[in-house]
Amino acid sequence: MSSQSPVGAVGRVTVPIPLNGPGEVLVAVRGGSEAYAAWSNAPIGMHTRVIVVDCVSARSLIVEPLPT
């Protein structure tokens, strides 16, 4: 990925992420916010703050809940 990769960026879940499927996150990148399909190893509820840990494709991410 380029230097504009969202890996490491913080976002918020806008569509809950189920155990075996995608949800959606809004991530602060490139001076704005962008929506991405998001996957996780565990379900993540709506409005949870997350961190991007990997990119699956240009519009799909792997996320984890942001540690508190």
Structure tokens belonging to residue 50 = 């997350």
**Domain ranges within the chain, ordered by starting residue:** 10-65
| Predicted local distance difference test score (pLDDT) of residue 31 | 85
| Predicted local distance difference test score (pLDDT) of residue 48 | 97
| Predicted local distance difference test score (pLDDT) of residue 3 | 54
Ranges in the chain, pLDDT < 50: 1-2
Q: Which residues contact 30 (CB under 8 A, 6 or more apart)?
A: 4
**Angle 47-59-11 from CA coordinates, rounded to 5°:** 25
Structure tokens belonging to residue 20 = 């075996």
| Predicted local distance difference test score (pLDDT) of residue 30 | 81
- Give the DSSP per-residue string, 22-44: -EEEEEEETTEEEEEEEE-SS-B
Cα-Cα-Cα-Cα torsion 44, 27, 25, 58, nearest 10 degrees, comes to -120
CATH class of 10-65: mainly beta
* Model pTM score: 0.88
